[in-house]
Structure 1
Amino acid sequence: MTLVNLAQVLQPALAQGYAVGGLVTLGWEDMRAYVAAAEAENCPVILQAGPSCRAHTPLPVLGKMFRHLAEASSVPVVAHLDHGYTFEDCKIALDSGFTSVMFDGSRKPLRQNIDETAAIAEMAHAAGISCEGEIGFVGYSGGENSNGTDPEEAVQFARDSGVDAMAISVGNVHLQQDKEGGLDLARIAQIQALTTVPLVIHGGSGVPVAQRSALAAQTSVCKFNIGTELRMAFGVALRAAVASDPDRFDRVQMLGDTIDPVQQAAQHVLRAFGAPPQR
């Protein structure tokens, strides 16, 4: 069984200069593809259940799916709740067998965000699982604007919340479909100089691949969340599967045709993070 918590994969990444992919799942086919990709690349992987995934499949079911895949995997697998918005979200994930929770209090005032994140981190640590928090606000492409992370606030947050990983807002945006952007390297350097906690980039699909690799090797950024570019690969594969035969109607067959293309896309993502072979 290679089910692990977030700290168990991020601390080695921090020490050795690489990153781990937090791959956003929506269903069984992409989960399978992500674990197969990690095995092919011989690297750890973080399976993430975000709000849209949880709206489709209940957390207790997702926990069993993640754990089933992890138990059969030859590489470390983290079962991670992404963007839990309440204590109850995180408690249900904990009770459902997740090994890591991300509490998102980033829309709240600093003190409230710290206090609520600290309470969830305490609960998580008591159960032997990890907690990620967010300071600053990572916006959405075509939606809410970002609020960049203040380095001094990041110091407070890291110190007082007790998180195992800290998501920061440094030019990254959720749901970005292109890679025309690039992150605020000066702000990352400021945050890194003042904190020791592993840093997380949400909205990693919008970050150029070369910059992902450089940040993984040279900074405290140890986790990139990747969702949109993998969903795009899934969509292309599914459209091809549907169009290949107008008489086809079995969704198991059509969805099955997405697994290999998504695995290949996920391998490309994971390879860029520079993880050494697992032993």
Structure 2
Amino acid sequence: MPLVTLRDVLQPALTQGHAVAGLVTLGWEDMRAYVAAAEAENCPVILQAGPGCREHTPLPILGKMFRHLAEGASVPVVAHLDHGYTFDDCKEALDSGFTSLMFDGSRKPLQQNIDETAAIAEMAHAAGISCEGEIGFVGYADGEASAGTDPQEAAQFARETGVDAMAISVGNVHLQQDKDGGLDEPRIRAIQALTDTPLVIHGGSGVPMAQRTSLARTSNICKFNIGTELRMAFGAALRDAVNSDDSRFDRNQILKDTHDPLVAATRTVLRAFKGDDT
């Protein structure tokens, strides 16, 4: 199945009452497992190349990897740039075959964020692909603090940028390893009362499973980004594989042992976002 755009999977999610997982990739082993899990659950998946992934593997290579997996998949796959910080980041992803660009101007003043995101959205739409923006900074565990999204500013941002999806800051935090927190549902409802743009939660690993499911079915949150949770699952599987036999040295053989555990963990993530009828 060929690659699809973010809009292709989020608009049905918005109308049908479910969400799609944006899975943060670091390499071939996890992106391959994510597609296998999506096929097993018969649901679309968004493969995401964030800054850490791009430091390790060039965007043109990632684009080819995503496209190769999508062409052999039985479910829709989105090739998504996560946290592009410059116009050049986004242009390189577009030229590399990505079907969705996320421009992150959330640290910038509101009007600058709007203007720069609108330019990226215009470029993306002219090429027939999608664009995600962020309004209200989502912080990092043990790092920068979040700045919550103002509903009025969110409505202005959605209206003036024309983005296909809008990431918001409503209690979510990047790189959170536990699920002791939760999202600010009154703020979410206030935002969606002012705009019908599909909403995105970054730092989804820190959101309790029950709240993920509830919001996927009852709110305009159509995309949850999941990275840390699945990196932890991969790391645990890799440690088991390495420690199982001190004489092993072939990394391909070792890495093969991470596939099934990661597929199982990913299937659990994907099931939480399904609607009542899926």
Residue identity matched to 2:164: D
**Preserved CA contact (<8 Å) 1:138 1:169:** yes
Deviation string 1:122-149 (CA, Å, 9 cap, x unpaired) is 0000000000000000000000000000
Q: Secondary structure at the match of 2:102?
A: strand
1:94-127: per-residue Cα shift (whole Å, max 9, x none)?
Answer: 0000000100000000000000000000000000
Q: Quote the offset at 1:2 in angstroms.
A: 3.3
Q: Report the TM-score, using the length of structure 2 for normalisation.
A: 0.99
Alignment match, 1:106: 106
Q: Is the 8 A contact 1:138 1:172 kept in 2?
A: yes
Q: TM-score, normalised by structure 1?
A: 0.98
Query: What are the residue-to-residue correspondences of 1:1-279 with 2, within 5 Å?
Result: 1-275=1-275
Structure-2 separation of matches of 1:260 and 1:116: 41
Matched residue type, 2:184 = D
User: Alpha-carbon deviation of 1:3?
Assistant: 1.1
Asked whether the equivalents of residues 29 and 259 of structure 1 are also in contact (C-alpha less than 8 Å), the reply is: yes
User: 1:10-66 CA deviation, whole Å, 9 max, x = no partner?
Assistant: 000000000000000000000000000000000000000000000000000000000
Shift of 1:256: 1.1
Q: Secondary structure at the match of 2:140?
A: coil
| RMSD of aligned residue pairs (Cα, Å) | 0.9
Partner Cα distance (2:2, 2:249) in 1: 37
Identity of aligned residues (%): 79
Q: Distance in 2 between matches of 1:165 and 1:92?
A: 20
Q: 1:63 to 1:79 in 2, by over 3 A?
A: same
Secondary structure in 2 matching 1:4: coil
Q: 2:89 & 2:15 partners in 1: Cα distance?
A: 31
Residue type of the partner of 1:58?
P
- Residues 275 and 71 of structure 1: is their aligned pair in 2 closer, same or farther, counting only changes over 3 Å? farther
Deviation at 1:276, TM superposition (A): 7.3
Task: For residue 167 of structure 2, give the secondary structure of its aligned residue in structure 1.
Answer: strand
Farther off after superposition, 254-263 or 232-241: 254-263
Moved over 2 A (4+): 275-278
Inter-partner Cα distance in structure 2 for 1:85 and 1:36: 30
CA distance in 1, matches of 2:262, 2:4: 23
Q: Tell me how far 1:85 sits from its aligned partner.
A: 0.2
> What 5-or-longer segments of structure 1 have no aligned partner?
none
**CA–CA separation in structure 2 for the residues paired with 1:86 and 1:253:** 38
For residues 54-79 of structure 1, give each alpha carbon's deviation from its aligned partner in whole angstroms, at most 9, with x where no partner exists: 00000000000000000000000000
Distance 1:266 1:277, change over 3 A: farther
How far apart, CA to CA, are the structure 1 residues paired with 2:149 and 2:240?
A: 41
Compare 51-60 and 267-276 and name the one that shifted more: 267-276
In the alignment, residue 29 of structure 2 is paired with which amino acid? E
